[in-house]
A and B are shown apart, each in its own frame.
Chain A
Amino acid sequence: MGYDKLDAALAWQRNLPPTGSNIVIADTLKSNGNFLLHHFIVNHLRANQPVIVIGLSQIFNHYFLIGRKLGINLQTLKQNQQFVFIDGLTHLTSYTQKAPFPSVTTPTTPNAVLNGTNVQEFYNAIRERVEASAKQSPNPLVIIDDANVLLWAGFSHNDVLSLLHNIRVLIESVKGNCTRCTVKSM
């Protein structure tokens, strides 16, 4: 149970979005919509379905700490492969060439790191994880947090749209759900 009133308002079956749904959260800098992502993560994990977070704006620790307040332990769930975190923040562009990669085999290590100058490589990394996760259990939830970071990092509109489109097609093929967070300009 994420947030009770929101659960009551949305009134979904088992508090999960219907299969194959594609949800866009558009918020502004003044009214942040991040809480919705945590709500969806908690609901999905409580229903024993895998969650894949493509974290472009926050590192794993952020979700872990908030998840702890809402009553789930993302580190153990990550070890069980129920929760997959793809780090898109630390090595997204060429600016971070000299930065160290997150150390391997710690509880907060992400499952994959998006590294490169090409959205197609990102897509391949994401696809690997999504297909691996879907093989284990059905109906994964993929969360992209958030799509604006790609634009701010300098990728062209076409690239970002292609990436989002291809992720959407990928998720349809594994019968999952997709939630995206974008920020509306003020």
Chain B
Amino acid sequence: MAQTSGLALERLLEDKDSARSIMIIDSVQQSGNPLLLNFAGRAAQDQPLVVLCTETSPKSILKSISNHQNANITFYDAYSNPNGWNSTFPTDQLLEGKHKCHTVSQLSDLKPLVKALAEQTQAHKRCTVIIDSLAPLLFAAYEQCYQLVRSLASLATDDRRVIVMHHADISYARAAARHAPSLMESLQRLFSVAIQVEAPPQTDTSNMEHLTGFKAVDQFSYMNTNSNNTTAVAKIMWKRKSGKVLHETNAFRCDGQGISVMTAAAQETEEDLDEDLQESAGPDPTANLSFNLTLTDEQRRAKEKVVLPYLKAQNRGTVEIESSEPTTTPAPPSSGSIYYEPDAADDFDDEDPDEDLDI
């Protein structure tokens, strides 16, 4: 649809502007899986894919890509046998007779994996690399995972995209992690686009009834299912090559087949509330006094007519000074500049500051 081609998320999904490396940040509340699969599906239509599966099986990724017979996808399967416990699992297989699937059976040893991924990526002039989720890699080898991500992000060029998904709400309780810089920030620095997927702001249960068709009966009205909604909000931070950083919030809805991107509902209502609060925040100081501090209309008009005495100096002689009617409240000067013209008695002697004293 022509009118949505301007939205950042739509441009990223369609690979219109070259965004080299994309990180999708999600949480348990709202999964980024549909978005990731949509990226994969759209990319598979016209370019080869290299997928490192850690949390979803290669088969389910293949199922979600429509028309996968014509696609060129290479899988690195770190999902089915990451610790090598299942000795009967085949090392290499062909999925659906066409797509190569290499099994990673020792996830904690990331060096060969990095090497294989880098080789595979460089073999194609134009491709998309997708890492399903960083969490198992971080659990397996915390220090090495950063190297993996960094080497992949450095491989990304205008024609080779790297898309990675990261779960924001897992804490890695490692001794090293406590003293290292924040993981989220370190990872975000490597990527040019960061998409944070969040649940839409909650309105009321009538929304739930509309989406799920389930009307909360009195007994279960304390339960609200507000995770993994079909509609979600994506906050995008896009660091462009020119140096400009673009922040945009889009909403998207996953409906089985694809994703439709919409503009997010404006956050105006929140800002209006804040202003209202500030206005009514403090008690009115001009009330409850024995004298009158308010202005009548005539007095207000007269006050506005007053020319301030030092206006000439402030505006460098553009306004005539005239005497004014007495005003009820003096107007404070907006800025202060000091003009100092030393006369004869002023003597700049740094050594003796008291020389001009006559005692």
Nearest B residue (CB) for A124: B85
Q: Does A132 contact B (CB under 8 A)?
A: no
**A172 x B82 contact (CB < 8 A):** no
**B80 x A169 contact (CB < 8 A):** yes
**B173 x A166 contact (CB < 8 A):** no
**A169 x B81 contact (CB < 8 A):** yes
**B79 x A162 contact (CB < 8 A):** no
Q: Does A136 contact B (CB under 8 A)?
A: no
Question: Contacts of A23 on B, CB cut-off 8 Å?
Answer: none
Q: Does A120 contact B (CB under 8 A)?
A: yes
Q: Does B3 contact A (CB under 8 A)?
A: no
Instruction: Report how far A172 CA is from B140 CA in the complex, Å.
Output: 22
Nearest A residue (CB) for B135: A161
Question: Contacts of A170 on B, CB cut-off 8 Å?
Answer: 86
Given known A5-B219, A157-B173, A172-B57, contact A166–B83 (CB-CB < 8 A) = yes
Question: Contacts of B80 on A, CB cut-off 8 Å?
Answer: 169
Instruction: Report how far A169 CA is from B57 CA in the complex, Å.
Output: 9
Q: How far is the CB of A164 from chain B (nearest CB, A)?
A: 12
Q: Does B310 contact A (CB under 8 A)?
A: no
- A-B Cβ contacts below 8 A, count: 29
Selected contact of B85 from candidates A9, A123, A161, A172, CB within 8 Å: A123
Q: How large is the interface on A (under 10, 10 to 19, 20 to 34, 35 or more residues)?
A: 10 to 19
Q: Main SS of the interface on chain B?
A: loop
Question: Contacts of B83 on A, CB cut-off 8 Å?
Answer: 120, 162, 166
Instruction: Report how far A165 CA is from B83 CA in the complex, Å.
Output: 10
Of residues 218 to 243 in B, which have CB atoms within 8 Å of A's CB atoms? 219-220
Of residues 47 to 85 in A, which have CB atoms within 8 Å of B's CB atoms? none
**A165 x B57 contact (CB < 8 A):** no
**B82 x A165 contact (CB < 8 A):** yes
Instruction: Report how far A170 CA is from B83 CA in the complex, Å.
Output: 13
Instruction: Report how far A124 CA is from B83 CA in the complex, Å.
Output: 13
Q: Does A103 contact B (CB under 8 A)?
A: no
Q: Does A105 contact B (CB under 8 A)?
A: no
Q: Does A31 contact B (CB under 8 A)?
A: no
Instruction: Report how far A169 CA is from B58 CA in the complex, Å.
Output: 12
Q: Does B136 contact A (CB under 8 A)?
A: yes
Binary contact readout B71-91 vs A (1 if CB under 8 angstroms, 0 otherwise): 000000001111101100000
Binary contact readout A139-168 vs B (1 if CB under 8 angstroms, 0 otherwise): 000000000000000000110011001100
Question: Contacts of B79 on A, CB cut-off 8 Å?
Answer: 169
Of residues 1 to 27 in A, which have CB atoms within 8 Å of B's CB atoms? 5, 9
Question: Contacts of B57 on A, CB cut-off 8 Å?
Answer: 169, 172
**A161 x B81 contact (CB < 8 A):** no
Nearest A residue (CB) for B214: A11
**B86 x A166 contact (CB < 8 A):** yes
**B136 x A165 contact (CB < 8 A):** yes
Using a CB–CB distance below 8 Å, which chain B residues touch chain A?
A: 57, 79-83, 85-86, 136, 139-140, 173, 219-220
Using a CB–CB distance below 8 Å, which chain A residues touch chain B?
A: 5, 9, 120, 123-124, 127, 157-158, 161-162, 165-166, 169-170, 172
User: 7 interchain pairs (CB within 8 A)?
Assistant: A5-B219, A120-B83, A157-B139, A158-B140, A162-B83, A165-B136, A166-B81
A123-B85, A172-B57 provided; 12 other pairs, C-beta below 8 A?
Answer: A157-B139, A157-B173, A158-B140, A161-B139, A162-B82, A162-B85, A165-B136, A166-B85, A169-B80, A169-B81, A169-B86, A170-B86
